[in-house]
């Protein structure tokens, strides 16, 4: 089986593939100080919960937005899985031309998402990733990564609001707003953050569609996508597994027979 690991700033999402089929997937909080041994222990425990073990993992790939954790995951694979983990970064074959001034600046997860979306749709598309930041990544009809946009994520906005306004409480945005007009302070914050973020997403996607084509499909992913996407009219579908799928595709493109 292939272990695909997506290390985000807030959460780490990983899954086990048997061929093209995702057998299991897990999420846990990203701890930036984690060592290879700690990652190995966490992986072993989570695999055991699904009646799996290290011996069933014969290949692995990682993308990381936390620079310190990519090498730790690779060291974990070398020590506990007995093989070299493929890391998404410079020199890896993605099959996607990059139209970015400095390709080394692109977040690994953004490129992985773009690869997965284009592989599925076969044409121009836009990926909106609702993570710590909200990223927008357009892909051309020719399958080129064009660049993108980055805006503060939902949780960053909430933290800034509650930290700078002492009287405002922290709000759970996994609960949908009761309406546009809040009848309590919590309702008002929830509605403002959700509808405000959704409106910003729609504005940006519409501008991107002005360059790519009005009917360009848009896929949302990321841990907070389900909280915002239902209120954004430009999101065509939500796929929590998009990044893991992209990792599996990139791994396949780097097999010796694919060279």
**CATH code where residue 49 lies:** 3.30.420.40
Domain count, the chain: 2
Residues designated catalytic: 109
Residue with tokens 């041994």: 37
Q: Cα(168)–Cα(175) distance, rounded to whole angstroms?
A: 17
In a domain, 257, yes or no: no
> Which 3 state secondary structure label does DSSP give 228?
helix
133 in the same domain as 65: no
The residues, any chain, with a CB within 8 Å of residue 20's CB and separated by 6 or more, are 248
Give the domain range for residue 48.
2-87
Label residue 57 left, alpha or beta by phi (over 0 means left) and psi (-120 to 50 means alpha). Answer: beta
Of 23, 55, 87, the residue at which a domain comes to its end is 87
Q: What is the pLDDT of residue 71?
A: 97
pLDDT at 41 over 80: yes
pLDDT digits (tens, 9 = 90+) for 96-144: 999 989 988 888 999 999 999 999 999 999 999 998 899 999 999 999 9
Q: Give me the residues paired with residue 218 across strands.
A: 126
Q: Cα(240)–Cα(29) distance, rounded to whole angstroms?
A: 16
Beta strands 11-18 and 21-29 are: antiparallel
Q: Is 122 exposed, middle or buried (0-12, 13-18, 19+ CB in 10 A)?
A: exposed
């Amino acid at each position: 089986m292939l272990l695909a690991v997506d290390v985000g700033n807030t959460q780490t999402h990983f899954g086990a593939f048997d061929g093209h089929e995702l057998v299991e997937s897990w999420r846990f909080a990203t701890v930036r100080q984690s060592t290879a041994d700690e990652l190995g222990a966490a992986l072993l425990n989570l695999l055991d919960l699904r009646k799996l073990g290290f011996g069933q993992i014969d290949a692995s790939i990682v993308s990381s937005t936390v620079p310190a954790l990519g090498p730790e995951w690779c060291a974990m694979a070398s020590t506990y899985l007995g093989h070299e983990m493929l890391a998404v970064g410079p020199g890896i074959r993605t099959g996607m031309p990059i139209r970015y001034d400095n390709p080394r600046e692109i977040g690994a997860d953004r490129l992985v998402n773009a690869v997965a979306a284009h592989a599925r749709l076969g044409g121009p598309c836009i990926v909106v990733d609702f993570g710590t930041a909200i990223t927008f990544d357009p892909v051309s009809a020719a399958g080129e990564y064009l660049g993108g946009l980055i805006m503060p994520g939902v949780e960053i906005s909430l933290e800034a609001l509650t930290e700078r306004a002492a009287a405002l409480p922290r709000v759970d945005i996994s609960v949908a707003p009761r309406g546009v007009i809040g009848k309590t302070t919590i309702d008002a914050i929830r509605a403002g953050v959700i509808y405000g973020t959704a409106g910003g997403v729609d504005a940006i996607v519409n501008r991107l569609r002005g360059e790519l084509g009005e009917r360009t499909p848009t896929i949302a992913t990321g841990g907070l996508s389900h909280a915002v996407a239902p209120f954004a009219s430009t999101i065509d579908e939500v796929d929590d597994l998009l990044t893991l799928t992209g990792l599996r595709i990139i791994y396949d493109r780097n097999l010796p027979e694919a060279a």
